[in-house]
Amino acid sequence: MANIKDVAKAAGVSTSTVSRTINNSSSIPAETKARITEIMKQLNYTPNQNAKSLTTNKSYTITLIVDVDDEKSFQNPFFYEIMHGIEKYVYNKEYSFIVANLKTMMKKQSVLDWLIRSKRTEGVILPSSMLDSKTVESLRKDKIPFVSIGEPIHLKDSITWVDIDNKRGAEVAVYSLLENGYKNIAYLGYDNTKLFNQRRYEGYLNVLESEKIKINPSYIIECNNTKDNGYNHTKTLLNLGNRPDAILCADGELSFGAIKAIQENGLSIPSDFGLISYDETKIAELSYPSISTVNVDMFEMGTQCAKLLFDQIENHQSINQGVLISASLNKRETTK
Amino acid sequence: MANIKDVAKAAGVSTSTVSRTINNSSSIPAETKARITEIMKQLNYTPNQNAKSLTTNKSYTITLIVDVDDEKSFQNPFFYEIMHGIEKYVYNKEYSFIVANLKTMMKKQSVLDWLIRSKRTEGVILPSSMLDSKTVESLRKDKIPFVSIGEPIHLKDSITWVDIDNKRGAEVAVYSLLENGYKNIAYLGYDNTKLFNQRRYEGYLNVLESEKIKINPSYIIECNNTKDNGYNHTKTLLNLGNRPDAILCADGELSFGAIKAIQENGLSIPSDFGLISYDETKIAELSYPSISTVNVDMFEMGTQCAKLLFDQIENHQSINQGVLISASLNKRETTK
DNA sequence: CTGAAAGCGCTAACAA
DNA sequence: TTGTTAGCGCTTTCAG
């Protein structure tokens, strides 16, 4: 395979000139550049990245850390689309894109540490769930740019993160239900251990308050995200003296159980009862009836993560910030 | 950051000795090795991968190519678990793991080409769907080891691939239905454009033949994988003079429609009617009733891909082979 | 605008 | 068993 010397020789110039051409230095006249570029093409030359990385001390590579609790499944079903958003942005920058699981150990250190110290990565994107203060400190010490997927919680340091605008998403959903004539909206699946869930809950409360609607505590169901919980708690809701006529499901799987319960009670969806959930499109469409959802654009989330990371990598200095991706309502068959 | 010279100096040896220690050369006495290792630890030394890659002309990195048709979703819902299987194996080898989308172009060449020519990758795992003979040829020319995810089709070259044993999976499913007293089993969702689907179909036919069961052509429904198709064609099946009493769904989404149709006909599942599908666990469990499925271990598939790739990387020479991952039945509520 | 030359951190003959 | 030394292919001062 041709190297920079071969190109230099063929072009009758020095390797410096070729190097400057590769890096598009302004000191080389366009004409010379064109000629050298042509020769590179003829020789089928591609710069050796390892050599470049060694001299510049940069890996031109960024890393996505994933969180795998058990061996069989990743935690976040949306992760794939986030990945794709990142991937696209990264390759546009002519960087490459590593994926690693934080739990993996390399020579008794975490992969992350290994990747950084061996100069394999210049920046890291990782879920807020793994950003404890120890990790933040270590990242800071190594001066490695990073971006959190999801607004971090319990973290005193100021960091850069990207999240879905869960609060606004809930607001849009509740407003839409009200506008379509639903009056008594329950919130199914409150879970104060999850920040995204709290934000959705805030949005729900927010709208009721601005619309001067009395908040009915028995409409607010605390449980985690399983279809059985959805089913059982919806049954309870429907047995209430003043039963609700709509539900905002805080998370996806609840909605399958809820729909089942509503149908068993002889209520018809969406005429008697409305439901909005958060979920993946594919799953929402599989249900009968298909589920109206708050749409979360995970591809965009990935793109933003990558963008904020490169802001840090390129500017070397950049202010920490939080970015919220707006969430829109995707109306399907569970709402009027 | 400490480099190999610093370690050598601190240990009072040459860099070669340190290098040999790093690479665990047998010529260094255990004692010396231990001493040097200790010093590396003290200095918090990690070898610079770029330097190593430059000298050895190896990137210690492998690549997974993904197929993204539209920007919003990856094609294969299982891909994530495959990825994880690969990731785990790769880091065990102290390699790192790049992900890239074949559609991405780098300086007017494909990412794959770019990754290879710039020495960023030593091996590639990619879906059979992108393995046209041009790609194979180019991979072969660059002498880059590769493994196909999925048995390739329309390919004259012999290559290494890993796939789910779809045929055997279907056989297990059909046998299980027969053993549980279902007599007339329909095959819903035949699609001859997809090899995995053909294999499932072969398995279905196989069992019927060995059990001397007459094949009823009207039980074999050709359609692609949507819930509406599942619903409509199941309706048709149920209106047949001698209607089936069980369905093998060739693909996941069909089953949601099929179940709906069966229930609407007043048949109860699983006592009157049985159903087995192929699908992701999570989705199968979301359904009412939860769906019995042929279980496909995508994590294992990823592991095998990585293993076969490293066989080639390490042995430099290795025979092409196809590996089938066995598929087992996961009984849920749609079968007795 | 261009070239010579040093060097990034490591490995691997070759020599001892 | 260990050290010396010459690169790997590129970038980047510094000089011209």
Q: Mapped to the 3 state alphabet, what secondary structure does B167-204 carry? A: HHHHHHHHHHHHHCCCCCEEEEEECCCCHHHHHHHHHH
Question: Distances in Å between the alpha carbon of A322 and those of A86, A148, B183?
Answer: 17, 9, 60
In this predicted model, what pLDDT tens digit does every residue of A37-74 receive, in sequence order?
A: 999 999 999 999 999 999 999 999 999 998 776 444 44
**What ranges do the domains of chain B cover?**
4-56, 61-164+300-325, 166-297
Question: What's the number of CA atoms in the CB half-sphere (13 Å) around residue A148?
Answer: 25
Residues B179-202 have a mean pLDDT of 96
Nearest amino-acid residue to C13, taking CA and C1' = B16
Amino acid at B97: F
Instruction: State mean pLDDT over B19-26.
Output: 95
| Statement: residue B72 has pLDDT above 50 | no
Give residue A195's region: left, alpha or beta (phi > 0; psi -120 to 50): alpha
Residue A261 clears pLDDT 50, i.e. is over it? yes
> pLDDT category, A77, cuts 50, 70, 90?
low
Higher pLDDT, B315 or A236: A236
Residues of A in contact with B88 (CB under 8 A): 71, 101, 104
| Cβ within 8 Å, pair A81-B88 | no
pLDDT band at A281 (very low <50, low <70, confident <90, very high): confident
> Using CB atoms within 10 A of its CB, is residue A299 exposed (0-12), middle (13-18) or buried (19+)?
buried
- Model's pTM, two decimal places? 0.93
Domains B4-56 and B61-164+300-325 fall in the same CATH topology:
no
Arithmetic mean of pLDDT over chain B: 93
Does residue B305 contact residue B85 with C-beta atoms inside 8 Å? yes
CA B183 to chain centroid, in Å, comes to 33
Distance of CA B247 to the CA centre of its chain: 26
Q: How far apart are CA B63 and CA B118, in angstroms?
A: 13
Class of domain B61-164+300-325: alpha beta
What is the per-residue pLDDT for B154? Answer: 80
B97: nearest Cα among A92, A149, A106: A106
Is beta strand B105-106 parallel, antiparallel or unpaired with respect to B109-110? Answer: antiparallel
pLDDT at A280: 80
Taking 70 as the threshold, does the pLDDT of residue B71 lie above it? Answer: no
- B11 CB-to-strand D distance under 7 Å: no
Q: What angle do CA B108, B109, B113 make, to 5 degrees?
A: 165
3-state secondary structure of B146: strand
DSSP, residue by residue, A81-134 = HHHHHHHHHHHHTT-EEEEEETT-EETTEEHHHHHHHTT--SEEEEEGGG--HH
Alpha helices, H only, A142-297: 166-179, 195-210, 227-238, 252-264, 281-286
Determine which of A6, A7, A40, A46 to mutate to test the interface with B (most B C-beta atoms within 10 Å): A46
Report if CB A20 to strand D is under 7 Å.
Answer: yes
Predicted local confidence at residue A140, as pLDDT: 92
Residue from B40, B41, B50, B229 to probe the interface with A (highest A Cβ count within 10 Å): B50
Nucleotides of C under 7 A from a protein CB: 1-5, 7-13
Taking residue A1's Cβ as centre, other Cβ atoms within 10 Å add up to 12
Give the mean model confidence (pLDDT) for residues B216-239: 97
Gap between the Cα atoms of B104 and A96, Å rounded: 12
Per CATH, the number for A4-56 is: 1.10.260.40
Span B6-32, mean pLDDT?
A: 95
- In chain B, which residues from 40 to 99 place their CB closer than 7 Å to nucleic acid strand D? 51, 54-55, 57
The string of DSSP letters for A6-30 reads: HHHHHHTS-HHHHHHHHTT-TTS-H
Give the CA-to-C1' distance from A39 to C16 in angstroms: 46
Looking only at the bridges linking them, the beta strands covering A185-190 and A246-249 are parallel
Q: In what order do the strands lie in the sheet with B292-295?
A: B220-222, B185-190, B246-249, B274-278, B292-295, B328-330
Closest CA to the C1' of C4: that residue is: A14
Question: Where does residue B322 rank: exposed (0-12), middle (13-18), buried (19+ CB within 10 A)?
Answer: middle
Strands A328-330, A292-295: pairing kind:
antiparallel
pLDDT tens digits, one per residue of A212-258: 999 999 999 999 999 999 999 999 999 999 999 999 999 999 999 99
Q: Considering only CA atoms, which of A332, A278, A329, A334 is closest in space to residue A176?
A: A329
- Cα-Cα-Cα-Cα torsion B144, B147, B153, B155, nearest 10 degrees, comes to 20
Q: Does B152 have pLDDT greater than 60?
A: yes
pLDDT band at B76 (very low <50, low <70, confident <90, very high): low
> Does residue A15 approach strand D to less than 7 Å at its CB?
yes
Tell me whether residues B286 and A286 touch, CB distance under 8 A.
yes
Helix (H, G, I), strand (E, B) or coil at B257: helix
Q: What fold, for A166-297?
A: Rossmann fold (3.40.50)
H helix and E strand count, chain B = 13, 14
| Facing residue for B96 by CB, picked from A79, A91, A120 | A120
**Least confident among A63-67, A287-291, B254-258:** A63-67
B299 burial class (0-12, 13-18, 19+ CB within 10 angstroms)?
buried
To the nearest whole number, what is the mean pLDDT of chain A? 93
Is it the case that residue B293 has pLDDT exceeding 80?
yes
Most confident of A124-128, B80-84, B314-318: A124-128
A328 phi and psi, to 5 degrees? -115, 165
Q: What is the mean pLDDT of residues A168-194?
A: 97
B226 touches chain A (CB under 8 A): no
For strand D, the positions having any atom within 7 A of a protein Cβ are 1-5, 7-13
Q: What is the pLDDT of residue B70?
A: 47
Q: Copy the structure tokens of residue A164.
A: 């879905």
Structure token digits, residue B326: 């066995």
B160 within 8 A of B321, measured Cβ to Cβ? yes
Beta-carbon separation of A94 and B74 below 8 A = no
